[in-house]
Amino acid sequence: MKRIIAITGCPTGIAHTFMAEEALKSAAKKLSIEIKVETNGASGVENTIQPEDLINIAGVIIAADKDVNPDRFNGLPVIEVPVKEAIHHPAALINKILNGEAPIRKGEKSTTATQTEKESFGRQVYKHLMSGVSNMLPFVVAGGILIAISFLWGIYSADPKSAEYNAIAAMLMKIGQQAFSIMVPVFTAYIAYSISGRPGMVAGFVGGLLANATGAGFLGGIIAGFAAGYLMLWVKNLLEGLPRQYEGLKSIFIMPLVGVLAIGVLMVLLGQPVAAINNGMMSWLSSLQDSNPILLGIVVGAMCSFDFGGPVNKAAYVTGTLLLGQGNYFFMAGVSAACITPPLVIALATTFFPKGFSEDERAAGMVNYILGCTHITEGAIPFAAKDPLRVIPMMMVASSISAVLSYSLHIQVPAPHGGFLILPLVSKPLAWVLCILAGSACGAVMYGSWRLWLVRKQPAVEAAVNLQQGGNNAAL
């Protein structure tokens, strides 16, 4: 039996990673192919590819949107694609390997050099950016939820001067704020690390700290991360000719000093102008909450359901987390509502319109109740992938309804993740749930009705085809 190796990894390491793994395993089983899949998830690397696994294999499929150390497969037939490609077209990827269509992977120098040869610049930027987001999210979620929990004792319970003061709440607030404050430096450091490795991480982390200190925030972090990464990649290539005995001097003294100094000067000079842009954007978004909640809800809802956890979704989510850090808990209410809605649309549609779905789809729909209630938007991907041009707009409408209602009712959500698990922290928990259910119900009616129409239309199409074939046979 022919053997294939696969590696999957998405920016957050929560849903896409394991959906791609399952899709590849399922397709391999149908094709009678032996496959081993390494997953690069949020909890680390599982089912790691060992050197002995690479003996007598047909090829390697790398379906990842982050660095998964692909250099270990140099010299082998390798296909490198986004993680969604493995979810949508697993059999096609396996057949490319089996048919000998996979190119031999070159690139003895570094992961970055290899990727530069194979990938467009836009694809590289996306992967570096998502590497930063992936490593930042655990700090955001942990810190944000701890801050939110401290509010259970009262909104001013961490203030020693307030009558609501509670020592436990103050401790939770302090821990949460520290985790939250490191969000931008970690984000910046891992963008730079994705580009140039450890030398970039040092300069990137300092750049992130200065982005925080100058008020440049997330936008400044992006600038510092990419500047640090590409600067240190250039410096590293410049110093490659140094004799091996100077390796310690190069890696411990020259490169960190050059990187920290250059990026430090850059961020000190750019800090205030970028901070002004950053603050202007945040103020505009915040003002929409009161002046035009309908427009804001439509924009946020459409973004969150456009790519189900992809870069557009993450842009809305990261904006919400940044506003949480500034004490704005209204914006995240709409973002969370919009992210929870798509899987609930699927779950409700498969429950109340069962004749429109297969048995396997109804089983997957039940799982989406859990995914939706825990803020995992990616559960809707397998259904949307079957007809994205129709399903995605339905999801965008449903998410927009949930977000618009949340903003219109001025609901506050102080935690950046958790779905319905954080209901005790929500200012109007029952109203928020009803907002989400309203949007989900509208989406379920649209999606379920459309699927029923497809099922009822199919027999008519088949009958017409059979009738035409019968007429052709009679003529013959």
Which residues does 442 contact at the CB level (< 8 Å), separation at least 6? 397, 398, 401
Q: Are 19 and 378 within 8 A, CB to CB? A: yes
Strand-pair category, 3-9 with 34-41 = parallel
Which residues does 153 contact at the CB level (< 8 Å), separation at least 6? 164, 166, 168, 169
Residue in the block written with tokens 């960190």: 256
Residue in the block written with tokens 């954080």: 422
Residue in the block written with tokens 């496959």: 35
435 is catalytic: no
Which residues does 47 contact at the CB level (< 8 Å), separation at least 6? 36, 37, 38, 39
Q: Where are the alpha helices (DSSP H) in 353-424?
A: 359-373, 381-386, 388-408
Residue 446 to residue 392: CA distance in whole angstroms: 12
Q: Are 224 and 266 within 8 A, CB to CB? A: yes
Residues annotated as catalytic (active site), given as ranges: 10
